[in-house]
Amino acid sequence: MTQGAEQMDRPWCLISDIDDTLTGDDAALERLGQVLAAYRDRVKFAVNSSRPLASVRQTLAEVFPSSMIPDATITAMGTEITVAGAPLASWSARFEGWPQARVFEILAGLGHRPHAPEFQTPLKVSFAVPVAAQDAAQEALEGLPCQIIASGRDDFDVLPEGAGKGAATLHLAQALGCDPDRVIVAGDSGNDVAMFQAVGQGIAVANARQELLRALTPGTFFHASAPHAGGVLEGLKRYGAIPDTV
């Protein structure tokens, strides 16, 4: 087999954030779904969302076109992975016994407001913590096996050490049989930074927030000229995952 043929046989993997990355332009999302369906044997597709699995499944059912069925999902800020609808045991087993209740108790004791119950999971605690109070909140959690993802104006998510969107991206790519140099991520906000840092091919859609763009090194990602799903499609062409003529 020639080197060129070997390259064609190696699958690509698109792992994309949902809110304001894929969503926001229904026509562009429909078009991206058609392209991914046409190239299903060449590009595996997964979503990577900060929202819990139940919320993501609702969006997939109500917002996504019927042709756009992910091969896998990463949810709850990189703490949950499902493949073909089933939890990926090799991922969830890493975090057994994580002290979720204690983390919640500490942040509530500081007077911060928790996000709605549907955004709390056994492996993710989510609060609204103003930027000025985030250092103190982080100090209060010292000694616990935690990492903190702060984004937006006051989103403050606490996860187990070793979890997160970036680590989950690499673990899922391996589970799907995709080499790291064939993984493309797409996002729009600060909580997507870890995905971009984990791989060498990233798509920042045109509507990406400055918090993401400022955190990335120029030249290490593609900043699309189109917003939302249209920008993701533009990036897939830029990296050669699908033909530029599509």
What's the angle, vertex CA 31, arms to CA 186 and CA 203, rounded to 5? 15
In a domain, 31, yes or no: yes
Q: pLDDT (tens digit, 9 = 90+) per residue, 204-232?
A: 999 999 999 999 999 999 999 999 999 99
pLDDT-derived band at 78 (thresholds 50, 70, 90) equals very high
Question: What pLDDT band is residue 151 in, cutting at 50, 70 and 90?
Answer: confident
Domain that includes residue 220, residue range: 3-93+163-238
16 with 82, same domain: the answer is yes
- Same domain as 79, residue 15: yes
In a domain, 120, yes or no: yes
pLDDT, one tens digit per residue, over 162-216 is 999 999 999 999 999 999 999 999 999 988 999 999 999 999 999 999 999 999 9
Q: Alpha-carbon distance 148 to 218, whole Å?
A: 25
Domain boundary among 140, 160, 180: 160
Q: What is the pLDDT of residue 9?
A: 75
H or E element, residue 173: helix 165-175
| Strands 146-151 and 155-160, bridge-based pairing | antiparallel
On whether both 105 and 119 belong to a single domain, the answer is yes
What pLDDT digit, counting tens, does each position of 8-32 carry? 578 999 999 999 999 999 999 999 9
Please count the structural domains in the chain. Answer: 2
What is the three-class DSSP state of 25? coil
Which of residues 160, 179, 210 is at a domain's end?
A: 160
Query: Where a domain ends, among 127, 160, 193?
Result: 160
